[in-house]
Amino acid sequence: MDRDDFIIAVFLVVCEQYQIIKQQYRLRRGGFAPALTDEEVITMEICGEYFKLECDKDIFAYFHKHYLHFFPKLTERSLFVRQAANLWQVKAAIQKRLVVASGQASDPVQVIDTLPLPTCVLTRAVRDRCFKTEADFGYCAAKDMHYYGFKLGLRISRLGMITHYPLLAARPHDIQSLDTLLEGFEGIAPADKGFIEEYRHALLLERHQILVVTPARKNMKTDFLITIGGDGTILRTCLAAPKPEPPILAINMGVRGFLTEVEPKEACAAVESCIKGEFRVEKCCKLAISTGEGIIPDGLNDVVVSAGEPSKLLYTQILKDEEPILKCQADGLIVSTQTGSTGYSLSAGGPVLDLDVDAFVLTPICSLTVFRSIVFPADSKVTIKAIRPNKMVVMVDGHYRQEVTSENACLTVTRSKNVTSFIRFKDNFYDRLRNRLLFKGMG
């Protein structure tokens, strides 16, 4: 959408909401009607902020220069600024209505945070008269900033819409504002380290079904990790998680979510079960990968080797325990674990490996060589040497990418000493295979 269409779309939405608000509240009590309509002023402010214009002066200058044909009565900056300031309550009312109408107010995952809101520079604080009894001194650790004023609390949906924005006192610690930030909310609330307090978290979970998720401090022991998303979120987490990896409780916000365990509505009950120890652990093997060119993270799903260009053949020599077994011409090769055998490898025609089968599988992608897949014992070492072209691109779990350009480009895959553990409550491997992989998403 170009800017012209965007401005028109915003104007139509503002007009619709303004008329509803106008019927509920008396907006003007007398005086001359302004040259610009309220809808025009609010539209310019919303679009100007979206275009990253920082103040009313910049917004006026931009629309006066580029969109005077849209707003022909935009002539006096002082009138525009005054009218915009007088409409702050109307803008707040429109924002609240849009949050409800869009469904973002009921988003089960909303991020909370605070940011400093200075009312003046720090050196003028002792002479400030505007908020003498309300403002206070505060400190923002994230910005290492001492300031005088307030804190602005924010609760934001996954699409980035602000659903709640209370004005908070500057001096108290962020954890003191937790109840205010989560007022009227049920679900999962990711937050930063400033909101860590186990007792408050337990109360919110028990009384209001709110799960506050915070990163661990350096001196904290991690009992388990919580991922909120689909399989891709889990794979990215496993690439970055410290070793040995804590067990993962995966909450499904994706499409299939084959590796996930619970839906969002079951998240709070699942966390309570984890705290009580009422779960079992499913351990999944990982692949240790080496190319001789830097460190490559272990793969939970698979490692994919290709020429790095679409539809370009990669001619390779495949070895098992240093012994050549075959040569292959294909768009690429996939080496996958039991976990990964239900992913890219399966789409390429490979078999599904039961979790109890101690093996990994090599599957070609669009092979010219007449073979489908080979299942190797997990203790074997598989080497893939590039013959032509003399380079390869390595992709681990769809997220980590490395180009191997040495003279004798090769890749070695073995079983890793690390494993990934998943928290499970009821479903087994074949339940997930039937209900999520084979049938979910069809239609």
The SS3 assignment for 142 reads: coil
Q: What is the DSSP string of 161-201?
A: -EEE--EEESSS-GGGGHHHHTTT--EEEE--GGG--HHHH
H/E run at residue 229: strand 225-229
**In what side-by-side order are the strands of the sheet with 392-396?**
374-377, 359-365, 332-336, 302-306, 392-396, 400-404
Neighbours of 23 (CB within 10 A): 7
Catalytic annotation present for 231: yes
Q: Decide: helix, strand or coil at residue 434.
A: helix
With beta carbons less than 8 A apart as the criterion, state whether 163 and 110 touch: yes
Q: Which two tokens stand for residue 339?
A: 């976990």
Q: Cα separation of 149 and 353, whole Å?
A: 60
> Which one from 38, 56, 107, 231 is the annotated catalytic residue?
231
Q: How far apart are CA 200 and CA 216, in angstroms?
A: 16
State the Cα–Cα distance between residues 194 and 192, nearest whole angstrom: 5
User: At which residue do the structure tokens 């020429």 appear?
Assistant: 307
Active site residue ranges: 231
